[in-house]
Amino acid sequence: MKNTILLPVFLLFSIVISAQVKKMPAYPLITHDPYFSIWSFTDDLTAENAKHWTGAEQALTGWLLVDGRYYRFLGKGNGKQEAVAVKKEVTVTATRTIYRYTCGAVDLQVQFTSPLLLNNWAVLTRPVSYISLIVQSNDGKTHKTQASISVSTNVCINKPEQEVTAVKYMTAAKWPVIKAGSVAQPVLQKKGDDLRIDWGYLYVASPAGAEQAIVEADKDLPAFIPTADSITGRQLSLKTVLPALQSSRSPQEQFIMLGYDDLYAVQYFNQNLPPVWRAEGRTIEKELATAAADYKTILKQCSAFDEKLYADVKKAGGEKYAQLCVAAYRQCIAAHKIVKDPQGELLFLSKENYSNGSINTVDVTYPSAPLFLLYNPELLKGMLNGIFYYSESGRFNKPFAAHDLGTYPLANGQTYGEDMPVEESGNMIILTAAIAKAEGNANYARKHWKALSTWVQYLSREGFDPANQLCTDDFAGHLARNANLSVKAIVGIGCYALLADMLKEKDTAAKYHAMAKEMVKKWMELAHDGDHYALTFADKNTWSQKYNLAWDKILKLHLFPAEVYEKEIRYYLTKQNTYGLPLDSRKTYTKSDWIIWTATLADKPADFNALINPVYAYLTETPTRVPLSDWHETTNGKQVGFQARSVVGGYFMKMLEGKW
């Protein structure tokens, strides 16, 4: 591995990133899964320490020595022996977060790359992120520079008081590594929401020629001080001092890598499963070595992927819409864990972050699906496989789909206190039909036809006029005769008909298509409320977002006439607040993912933009500084609940419509 890379592509970086996201509630730094997920909750890296998405501190600290003077560009530091770098800008792309600083006579670019490339399986599943530093003289003179970065061992524990052992060693390739993990190693011993991992091992790997040290966090200073090769203690810092450079007008680049080996990732029906890269026979040292060897190639792939994604989303819905999708990309993917079940079938398991901590919640899968339908439908299958297995194995023996598989990271069976029968059955059928659309065949549906048939029978009995049961918007409470939930049942039945047709079961297809069409007629009568359709069949002078209609339009089921979409959109445009369209007439709060689904019903770009622009305002103006919340107040832009959830993958719905 070379210490330094000269960068003729530096100007290309500047061009590509200039048009992307400049302001977010929080900025993704290291994002892989619900446990390995580090964010900056401020616009400037030096304003406060980095945190896990839950808000627990997981400090990263960095200094650049310029001609004998230290400039802190990352973390709060301890205020000694240092100036603070001056931030010029921050830019977020799909896979990278890039900061530009001035450190006296030298400019510094700090780039965090988590290469979550949905089109590159080996890279996507590798638990390694890069922190890149690019230095360049800004006064035409040559300056001696040297960078140092420290990583807190809080990354590998749940609580700061837990004891950690850190060991430094040299790999076969002669580059230094520090490995750190809790002394106790309680593998998969805890479940719940506000938790960090406290088993497995954090790795900080550096290029040849770098020096590493393990120090107590409160004694971590910019300069390198040699330490013992192994230290046990609390709140340690894993420090890397990179080789010194002569910084000139030509940009020079160095990097370190952060990796995490969780040994076992989730428990699936009482069996501990390793992360998928381990299941495929890879080791953490090989992953680190490959990540180092392929550094330039991977960054080039990330740059190309980011540029194309932005251009494609912008074409589908405009500049502000593109920025919303970019802001959602890493957050959505990193709220999941990729494993394989004992039979080798893929499982892509979500954590219901900052909600109730459930694992593989179906009504979290449902809104996040558009991103994966666009880029990797196999991952959406991985979100459905466990739920199908739960029913098909007889472990869940009710005539509708389960809500979840447990509480993260233990997927041993549903732990949510109440079923959502119409919601989850509709979701499973609709998403199976969406997979068939993405793949051009119904082979996946054929494999699970018995379960799908059981669930559609439930919808045909109970779905049209739902009883007093929960839907995905459970935070708003129970609702009988829910018109939007009825839409989901109707669309679910229509999707089952679509699948039956693809499977050449013509009589079954005709039966369920006719059933869905008949239900639409009744729905339009019961939900009619003058210039719009009501929240429930029983309550006039109410309204709600009918976001479930999006699949009728996107899958071209042609169940609901266009006049339903048009009437609803016209009405919604009269109900908006500064930061978006409320979810329904009961409260002024909203769900941003549903707004984008609702906006997708609009045929006129001006109407789509009118619904999207307030959500963009929320993204850039919310006073709540946490990883993007999907549940916010439309009057003041404040978070109501939820953060860092995968459901923001639903922002890609308009792009999906454009593709299909």
**In this predicted model, what pLDDT tens digit does every residue of 488-531 receive, in sequence order?**
999 999 999 999 999 999 999 999 999 999 999 999 999 999 99
**pLDDT for the residue 175:** 87
Angle between helices 506-526 and 449-462 in degrees, nearest 10: 30
- Mean pLDDT score of the chain, rounded to an integer? 95
Q: How far apart are CA 378 and CA 381, in angstroms?
A: 5
- Residue among 339, 403, 325, 335 nearest 370 (CA): 325
**pLDDT for the residue 472:** 84
Number of residues that this document lists for the chain? 660
**What average pLDDT does this structure show over 594-616?**
98
Domains of the chain: 26-263 (2.70.98.40), 307-659 (1.50.10.10)
**pLDDT for the residue 173:** 82
**pLDDT for the residue 5:** 40
Q: How far is CA 452 from CA 369, 387, 427, in A?
A: 18, 11, 11
Digit-coded pLDDT (tens) for 414-433: 999 999 999 999 999 999 99
Q: How far is CA 191 from CA 263, 270, 358, 410, 544, in A?
A: 17, 13, 9, 7, 35
Give the pLDDT band (50/70/90) at residue 75. Answer: very high
| 463 within 8 A of 537, measured Cβ to Cβ | no
Give the pLDDT band (50/70/90) at residue 125. Answer: very high
Q: How far apart are CA 144 and CA 70, in angstroms?
A: 12
Q: How far apart are CA 195 and CA 190, in angstroms?
A: 8
**What average pLDDT does this structure show over 126-136?**
98
pLDDT at 2 over 50: no
Q: Which pair of structure tokens corresponds to residue 49?
A: 């320490």
Digit-coded pLDDT (tens) for 615-648: 999 999 999 999 999 999 999 999 999 999 999 9
Q: Give the contacts of 565 (CB within 8 A, at least 6 positions apart).
A: 549, 553, 601, 602, 603
pLDDT at 405 over 50: yes
pLDDT at 13 over 70: no
Digit-coded pLDDT (tens) for 152-191: 999 999 999 999 999 999 988 888 999 999 999 999 999 9
Digit-coded pLDDT (tens) for 339-356: 999 999 999 999 999 999
pTM of the model: 0.96
User: How many Cα atoms sit within 13 Å of 373 on the Cβ side?
Assistant: 32
Q: How far is CA 657 from CA 143, 314, 495, 554, 653, in A?
A: 52, 13, 16, 5, 6
Q: How far is CA 360 from CA 92, 174, 448, 460, 465, in A?
A: 28, 41, 18, 25, 27
pLDDT at 11 over 80: no
